[in-house]
Chain A
């Protein structure tokens, strides 16, 4: 990537935005003191929609355009609750009506096909272009379908859904579970780190087991994992023993959990230990930053986007901020909560940069609730600070629901999980 930076690009990097204004070396860099204040946001998920709303809320003189092809956005958080029969797809659906009406965000239902970093424009699939003074890229994740032999996007859309972007994939997996016979075997194939929503596969196993326990009690859930440990492991394993004894089996890498190959026609999975046949196979492939971030060369060799943690401005392309799952945000997990927290930090930083000021030190937070049953919730929290080597977790803060939490606390956490979803949805799209 860096060897394609022209001399002009490099000068622009030094002169523009954050670097120039923070160091006080260059008085009048273009994007820090632009006469117009136009921000284009690519992606209307947890990160992008938050940034769009908060830019308008913090400084109504900023003109904000949100480019998102989907008219209805289905959230990944709570999509496992849909699979467990606790929520419907309508419960996790959000639109951009309030952002448009109340916050006057210009909503453009289009796909971005390119970014011109010299002209500061975004090219849309319909042929039109949008100019920006600062750009926020919040494309979420994309899947490395070719990482597993026999898997592909068309296999995901037919026999083996990933359901790791909510919507038709969630509905497909749900239908397969509903159609499955009593005594069937459900496989959940979880990827290695890093990936979107670290506790997600295990919440999914729990809530699928909740459905099966009630409707098809002879069935089993088997997690094939490309890891040797996972998020909230102690809490999940304890909960599974209590709630679903004998129903959920977790196979680590050491126990042959890594998926080498799948056969969609035969509905089989090949691991180091042999071939398994599944009735439902939910394969969550390895991931990288969303396509536009890759196409625009905002990613590094990891497949994710390096950023300056003060403002979430790309360290590869000045004037472009990358937030959410696509970014390399140090100790922060790839969660909807984290993306929204980053969206606020980026919005506040951009407001300051337009004023020619140094951004405030960021305050970043995460809370991930997971449900094991309707009245059984656990959480992990983190508060983050900026250190010289990036975003780190503040020691002594954050952490997990205690392993010895009583039923009352587990019930309260389940209640707060739902409360959190209602409020963060309202904070972002409402």
Chain B
């Protein structure tokens, strides 16, 4: 029993560290992903872990790398601007949807931008 509080402390400390890293890292991540657009492979693994981890969620409905094989729209191949406009439209309610408004409201504008840059850069690389 004696060790249990120590374990909890360790886990909590880690959570604090990551929450802090998550929010303070945002502006840096944006710059990094724009700068490294020429080398998307390096960017994926190195430069924008935040953009990548946000974007991985999208694949559960839109397919791996945003390539859909169903009625759900493909994101892969769309421009950064297109995706960002769509996501912000869902968030504001200007763009009608079934479920996308409910998702888009869960992200800050910065996060929506990171997601758009992630898929926008992927599609540039694939051309």
Instruction: Identify the A interface with B (CB < 8 A).
Output: 2-3, 5, 10, 13-14, 18-19, 22-23, 54, 57-59, 308-310, 315-316, 337, 340-341, 344-345, 348, 351-352, 358-365, 367, 379, 381, 383, 386-388, 394, 396-399, 401, 409, 412-413, 415-416, 418-420, 422-424, 426-427, 430
Contacts and interface: CB of A to CB of B under 8 A. Distances in A.
Contacts of A418: 70-71
B22 A361 contact: yes
Tell which of B44, B69, B104 has the most Cβ of chain A within 10 Å.
Answer: B69
Which of A59, A361, A426 gathers most chain B CB within 10 Å?
A361
Q: Which 8 A-B pairs have the closest CB atoms?
A: A383-B106, A361-B22, A397-B106, A419-B70, A360-B49, A422-B70, A397-B105, A419-B72
Given A348-B53, A412-B98, A424 B14 contact: no
Contacts of B104: 397
A341 B22 contact: no
Given A23-B17, A416-B71, A401 B98 contact: yes
B107 interface: yes
Contacts of A22: 13-14, 17-18
B98 A427 contact: no
Contacts, number: 168
B50 interface: yes
A363 B54 contact: yes
Contacts of B53: 344-345, 348, 360-363
B78 interface: no
Given A3-B1, A19-B10, A381-B103, A361 B21 contact: yes
Nearest to A419: B70
Contact of B98 (A10, A413, A422): A413
Nearest to A46: B60
A419 B15 contact: no
B45 A348 contact: no
Interface majority SS (helix, strand, loop, mixed), chain B: helix
A134 to B, nearest CB: 16
Interface in B55-70: 56-57, 59-64, 68-70
Given A308-B14, A360-B22, A416-B71, A348 B52 contact: yes
Contact of A422 (B12, B57, B69): B69
A427 B56 CA distance: 10
A397 B13 contact: no
30 contacts: A2-B1, A2-B3, A54-B56, A58-B45, A344-B53, A344-B57, A348-B49, A348-B56, A359-B18, A361-B18, A361-B22, A361-B23, A361-B50, A362-B53, A367-B60, A381-B103, A383-B103, A394-B106, A397-B103, A397-B107, A419-B70, A420-B60, A422-B70, A423-B61, A423-B69, A426-B63, A426-B69, A427-B59, A427-B64, A430-B64
Nearest to B44: A58
Interface in B35-87: 44-45, 49-50, 52-54, 56-57, 59-64, 68-72
B41 to A, nearest CB: 11
B60 A337 contact: yes
A427 B37 CA distance: 24
